[in-house]
Each structure stands twice: as C-alpha cells, then as structure tokens.
Amino acid sequence: MQTLKHYFILALLLMVFSCNVAPQAIDYGQDGCHFCKMTIVDKVHAAEIVTTKGKVYKFDATECMVNFMNDFDTSEVELYLSNNYTEPEALIDATKATFLISKEIPSPMGAFLSAFKSKEDAKRFQSEKGGTLYTWDELLSHLNNR
C-alpha cells in the first residue's frame, strides 16, 4: 500500500509539471516561425502563442501569429505574446498591448506592426514615426478585414 501511494504521488507530480503553461524563450537565429517558416531573427517583432496544455507556437512577427489564428482553435490558447518594441526579446501580453502600424517602423512580414507594453510608449513612437494605434481587438479586426 505504501508503494502504491508513492507511485500515485509521483504520477501526480509528473502531471502537474508536464502541463506547464508558460512562455518559452525564443532562440533567435534558430527557431522558425510556425506560420511562414522563416527563421526568427528580429528581437523586437517576434510573437508566441501558449496553449492551455502548454504547447508553444513561435512566430517571427505578430502578424504571423494573427494569421495563424485564422486556422487554429483559439479556445485552446492561454497566452498571446508579442515582443515589446522598447525592450528587445521581452514578451508581453498581446491582449493588453498597444500596437502601432507605422510605415516608418518595418517589421519582418511587411505589416509595419509593432507592440508596446504601455500606451504612453506607443504614443511617443507614434508622435515620432506617425501611424495608427490599435488595441488587441482593434488590431484583429483591422488585420482580418484588409
């Protein structure tokens, strides 16, 4: 009976740790975009989806992540993440980010799309570079209607 209890505890621990729902660091220059298959090299425009089961999909740009969502069951998504333009390699919650589309800030797939953790940063770059600001929902609508 004691051995059975140990196996049960071990199985429970394995289940808890095997379903880790957390972002993974992007290995720039090595990881490929799940949507367009390009190698991810741009440290300010990459993106990532983490599912409820902990599977991670990496993208070279937020626009690839949005395009991927068109053919994916989004009810399985736990996290939508984008690189923070002002802090290279830092992933932020895309659903809370402010996005700027500006022809003065190129992005890997040509959408000129950048994510900012704070609206103030986005507005500062908008005043310098021009363009239009979007929330997550506004961005999804804009990209899916073009």
Q: Please, are residues 80 and 94 in contact by the beta-carbon 8 Å criterion?
A: yes
Mean pLDDT value of segment 27-50: 97
Mean pLDDT value of segment 45-71: 96
Residue 8 pLDDT greater than 60, yes or no = no
- The four Cα atoms 63, 67, 70, 73 give a dihedral, to 10 degrees, of -70
Whether 137 is covered by a domain: the verdict is yes
Whether 138 is covered by a domain: the verdict is yes
% of the chain surpassing 90 pLDDT: 82
Query: 3-state DSSP call for residue 124?
Result: helix
**Distance between CA atoms of residues 45 and 12, nearest Å:** 38
Whether 140 is covered by a domain: the verdict is yes
Indicate the helix (H) or strand (E) that contains 58.
strand 56-59
Sign of the Cα pseudo-torsion (88, 93, 94, 97, in order): negative
**Domain span at residue 79?**
27-144
Q: How many domains does the chain have?
A: 1
Question: Which two tokens mark 81?
Answer: 């993440």
Where residue 109 falls among pLDDT bands split at 50, 70, 90?
very high
Mean pLDDT value of segment 72-85: 96
Question: Which two tokens mark 52?
Answer: 């409820």
Q: How many residues does the chain have?
A: 146
Whether 16 is covered by a domain: the verdict is no
Whether 5 is covered by a domain: the verdict is no
Mean pLDDT value of segment 43-71: 96
Mean pLDDT value of segment 43-69: 97
Question: Which two tokens mark 123?
Answer: 């507005």
Whether 134 is covered by a domain: the verdict is yes
Whether 4 is covered by a domain: the verdict is no
Whether 35 is covered by a domain: the verdict is yes
Where residue 21 falls among pLDDT bands split at 50, 70, 90?
confident
Give residue 133's pLDDT: 98
